[in-house]
Amino acid sequence: MKVKVWFTSVLTALKHFFIKIWTAIKHFRKTKASKSILASVFSIIIGVLIGFILMIAIKPNEAFYGLGIMLTGGASNVSNIFQVLYTAAPLLMTGLAVGFAFKTGLFNIGAAGQYTVGAFLAIFGAIVLKLPWYLDILLAALGGALWGAIPGIFKAFLNVNEVITSIMFNWIGLFTVDLIIANTPMMLSSTYGGFDRSRTVDIVAVNPGAKLPSLGMESLSAYMNIGIFLAVIIAILIYIILNKTTFGYELKACGYNKESSKYAGINAKRNIVYSMAISGALAGIGGALTYLAGTATMQITKSISPIGFNGIPVALLGTSNPIGIIFSAIFIAYIQIGGNAMQPEFATEVVDIVISVIIYLSAFSLVFKQLIDRYLLNRKNSKLQKLIKAPDDQAVVSGTSAKEGEQQ
């Protein structure tokens, strides 16, 4: 008898606990943020599904294997997890660069060039100037800011569309960096006994202090360093600047309506230059985080870095919100590492297809949100609504019966 009473009281306590969580979830479901998240989750599920269908079409026998690798490869071992974080750090920075510019009404398609200039200056600081890592990052930020400010100046004072200037300066930046590296023997691997004349020397060999600290966890993975933490902190800072400061408010105001912000006494021209400079600095830091990890060296090349362009999908998936961008960068890095593990059964590019479908579906976010509203939250007689409601009612009923039982 006692056992039974004890059992029912535990059960009711549990029920009440679940009811509380359930109502909290229900409350959260009605907020704007949750709708965006739900819409993103929808997009991701559909994107992965389309990738899976594609794999079935190519190699039906290995499709399940491919899907499994794509979704779990990023977490399959410790080394991969750290590689995901290492890949995510610069993506997060270029994503922030693009997202920040979007928020202020500018399309910074030049993150690639700013990333390259930043990366070069970080390596230059490390190898030639023998600076410690934090000063190298600062140098990269300055370089990126300069490369971002140029399109800003062209737009503000010369009325040149920032898109065209950014594209031109992507190439100018790339070729300038190529030229300087080729003509600075001190930076080249071949000067130090290596055979490669088109690569920079390993920074760790020349200046160990330039490598990003790994918090003593080097033994876990060569990819372990503080880069991702720095990037997350910067993302939070950018969130605060955009949403909690007058400066950020003015920048956003210029983005929403240049003329009316001028009328309100905001210096719109100066703000355009500031926005582009900050955006460029963020991309520049991304370049520093890639190469100061000590796992990669810079190469003289004729093609623009894809990490800068990948900032655009990262920013779009994170709806240009700095906090959202943290998650979207980690997600894209995760699925990319998973995609690398898919070879040779499937081309890594299957992952790009999945990502691009997800990005495309974010255009449907408004439609998705309406669907969520209609079928999950508001419509009283929808099946899902009943499902959500049902445990609530039952709990109330059983709760009263339990009380009655106690009284008896």
Partner 1 sequence: MNVFGDLIASMIAFAVPLILVALGAMYSERSGTINIALEGIMIIGGLAASLLFKVLNGTEFATNAPQLAVLLGILLAAVVGALYSFFLAFASIRLKADQTIGGTALNMLAPALAIVITWAIQGQGQTAIYTPDWVPLATAPVDANFFERVFLKNMYLTTPICILVIIATVIIIYKTKFGLRLRACGENPAAADSVGINVYRMRYIGVMISGALAGVGGVAFTLAAGSGFASTVAGYGFLALAVMIFGNWQPTKIVLAALLFAFFKSLSGMSGSIPFLPSFDNVKESLYIYLMIPYIVTMIILALTSKKSRAPKAEGIPYDKGAR
Q: Which residues bind partner 1 (CB under 8 A)?
A: 54, 58, 102, 107, 109, 154, 158-161, 163-165, 167-169, 171-172, 175-176, 178-179, 182-183, 300, 302-304, 312-313, 316, 344, 346-347, 349-353, 355-357, 359-360, 362-367
If the CB atoms of residues 220 and 304 are measured against partner 1, the closer one turns out to be 304
Two tokens, residue 358: 């997800």
Q: Is the Cα torsion angle 305, 309, 310, 314 positive or negative in sign?
A: positive
Q: What is the CA radius of gyration of the chain?
A: 26
Collapsed DSSP state (helix, strand, coil) of residue 23: helix
If the CB atoms of residues 170 and 214 are measured against partner 1, the closer one turns out to be 170
Peptide bond into 90 cis (omega under 30): no
If the CB atoms of residues 230 and 312 are measured against partner 1, the closer one turns out to be 312
Tell me the H-state helices in 245-318: 246-256, 258-263, 268-291, 306-317
If the CB atoms of residues 155 and 211 are measured against partner 1, the closer one turns out to be 155
- Separation of alpha carbons 399 and 393, rounded Å: 10
Collapsed DSSP state (helix, strand, coil) of residue 199: strand
- Taking alpha carbons only, the member of 402, 299, 302, 314 closest to residue 356 is 314
Question: By the 8 A CB rule, do 101 and 276 touch?
Answer: yes
Phi and psi (nearest 5°) for 188? Answer: -85, 145
Q: How far is the CB of 86 from partner 1 (least distance, A)?
A: 22
Q: How far is the CB of 392 from partner 1 (least distance, A)?
A: 35
Collapsed DSSP state (helix, strand, coil) of residue 245: coil
Question: By the 8 A CB rule, do 364 and 43 touch?
Answer: yes
- Separation of alpha carbons 110 and 224, rounded Å: 28
